Amino acid sequence: MKGKAKAGYVLARIAEALMWLSAAVMALGFLAGLIDPEAISVMTGTGAADARIAVPMVPGGLGRMVITGPDGELVMGSYMLYIGAAVIELVLTALVFRRIWQIIKLSWASTPFQKPVVDKVKQIGWLFIAAPLVTLAVSLVNFVINWPELSVTVDMTSIITGVIVLALSQIFAYGVKLENDVEGLL
């Protein structure tokens, strides 16, 4: 079991690092949009009336977000929203992976039924729920900036996963209570 746990630990650490790196690159894109909006228009190659950007994210997922107006030109506010939301979602994903490797590390030392593990499992559940809410908020703000194009994508899978993980945290909390009761008897 230790070998599989070690592999999970290493993979979670690598995934976390990649998410932080991706968030930094997207943040640079955000800064580039603030510094030179014209360069962004050229780099994105806008001009097609149906240009769309899609970013597959874990856990939430922005789906498709229209960043061009009816004339095919880049709507800078939509672009900035898209990049800002991508940074937030990448940070949330990095935090999920951080909690995962921390749980694995805590479980090496002793049983997984301990309060810090329960807290980290709860945090993962809330992070899964937060990501689609960011998506929803960004989509609604984009509607105001770039109406009549509304593209709202809310990943219900992340919300359901978050609720399941929160329920799982309650099972772990009960395990902590049972473990403490058994230790008190011995």
- Give me the pLDDT at residue 38, please: 72
Structurally, the chain folds into a number of domains equal to 1
Q: What is the per-residue pLDDT for 129?
A: 92
Provide the domain limits for residue 19. 2-185
Bridge partners, residue 66, by sequence: 52
Stated pTM of the model: 0.78
Output the pLDDT for position 86.
84
Dump the DSSP string for 38-86: HHHHHHHT---TT-EEEE--SSS--EEEE-B-TTS-B-HHHHHHHHHHH
Note down pLDDT in tens along the chain; length 186 residues: 577 788 999 999 999 999 999 999 989 888 888 887 776 655 555 444 444 444 444 344 444 555 666 666 667 777 788 788 889 989 999 999 999 999 999 888 788 888 999 999 999 999 999 988 887 888 777 777 766 555 666 778 889 999 999 999 999 899 888 888 877 665
